[in-house]
Structure 1
Amino acid sequence: MRRLAGGLTIVIAWLTDLFEVVALSSRAFALFYALQCALALIVSVRNGVGTAVQRIGFGAKGLVCLVAAAVGAPAEG
């Protein structure tokens, strides 16, 4: 399995632009963090824990992450 993952990594690195890979992975991480913020907000509301300020913070950070995932541009252009 490790050899397959290593081989795929080499193929992707040779066949694609490195900046595109980095930009795509950055967007994926931003989307992941947005989902984490949504989960934190849902758990906070369902369990009745946390303050309103914390819940607003979860929502605001989640929205920032969604915007970053949607409009993120590569550093070179």
Structure 2
Amino acid sequence: MNYVLKLKTCPDNPAYSCVFEPPNSKLFEKSSLTPPLGLRILPLFEDSKIDLDVVDDTTVSDTHHWSQSEPQI
């Protein structure tokens, strides 16, 4: 589940479409073939009441970490 959540934040990842838009998903409904990860993991998220629609994309800061000031603790 951690992998799929992390992948959900990175739509540019090549694996994103394979997991969240699996091709031929109807093929696996009445088949003995093992369904792809995207089809196997979605029921787990539903059972856990985790809404993947609210997961936001990862953004990279424009400010380099070495140019930021040190936090005061």
- Please give the TM-score of this superposition, normalised by the length of structure 2: 0.30
Higher helix share: 1
